[in-house]
Structure 1
Amino acid sequence: MKFSRDHGLAERRTTATEAKAALLQAYKAAHAAADPEREARMAQRAIRAEERAKRHAERDRLKAEEEARAEQEAREREEAAIAAARAEQDAREQAEASRISRVVEDEAARKAERDRRYAARKARQK
């Protein structure tokens, strides 16, 4: 048996619009019914976000402290290395100065010995 009504374009359009409106109303009704739960979920979500922000801030603070401590240790190591290098340089300079003074003293002693021998030889010739 054939349908007695011919579903034309206008009728199909109205039926689709009514169906969409009914779906929208059902969604709004379900959304309104779930609203107290939604508020609780949103509050929980906000609390978790705040806790997460606190954890991130604490982690960033600890990271900054660790970096500052590492920089301080690096500076101290560098200063210690510089001090050790200075001490080594001073020791080298002191050793060089000591060696130079010994060479000068040895040279002076050699000249004094040579002068003494010369004076002794002159004294024997007279």
Structure 2
Amino acid sequence: MKSLKGSDFAERQKSSLEAKQAMLEKFKARPKFDDPQRVAERAERAARATQKAERIQAEKAAKDEAAQIQAANERLQASTDEEKKAERDRRYAARKARKK
């Protein structure tokens, strides 16, 4: 940036006008909303968002299925434990009956 010391009003005014023109040119150089490249970028972002949502949904379904399998395994284990306990109780009762 140029030093403003020693410059007169006309030079400062000219510098200000040049800076404003540069900002205006920079603004005009931006792509418009309906620019094909921007439209393609928006479509790509929308596709990625859709893929992410599908991936999340698939992960949720996999977790639900895993939870169902885990619950089924726990029920099976509980029934197996109950059967083992019933068999143990039957043997105990038979042993007590033999001792009498």
Q: TM-score range by the shorter chain?
A: 0.7 to 0.9
Shift of residue 50, structure 1, vs aligned partner? 0.2
Which structure shows the higher helix fraction?
1
Q: Deviations over 1:50-72 (max 9, x none)?
A: 01210110111011101110121
Structure 2, unpaired ranges of 5+: 1-5
Q: CA separation in 2, counterparts of 1:9 and 1:93? A: 113
Match of 2:51 in 1: 51
Quickly say closer, same or farther: Cα 1:33–1:85, change in 2 above 3 A. Answer: closer
Length, aligned pairs only? 95
Equivalent in the alignment of 2:29: 29
Mapped partners of 1:71, 1:17: distance in 2:
74
Summarize deviations over 1:88-124 as a string: whole Å, max 9, x none: 1121112211221xxxxxxxxxxxxxxxxxxxxxxxx
**TM-score, reference length from structure 2:** 0.75
1:62 aligns with 2:62: yes
1:35 deviates by 2.6
| TM-score, normalisation: structure 1 | 0.61
Higher relative contact order (CA 8 A, sep 6+): 2
Unaligned stretches of 5+ in structure 1? 1-5, 101-126
Taking the aligned partners of 2:97 and 2:17, their CA distance within structure 1 comes to 106
Partner of residue 41, structure 1: 41
* Structure 2: distance between partners of 1:13 and 1:99: 117
Cα RMSD (Å): 2.6
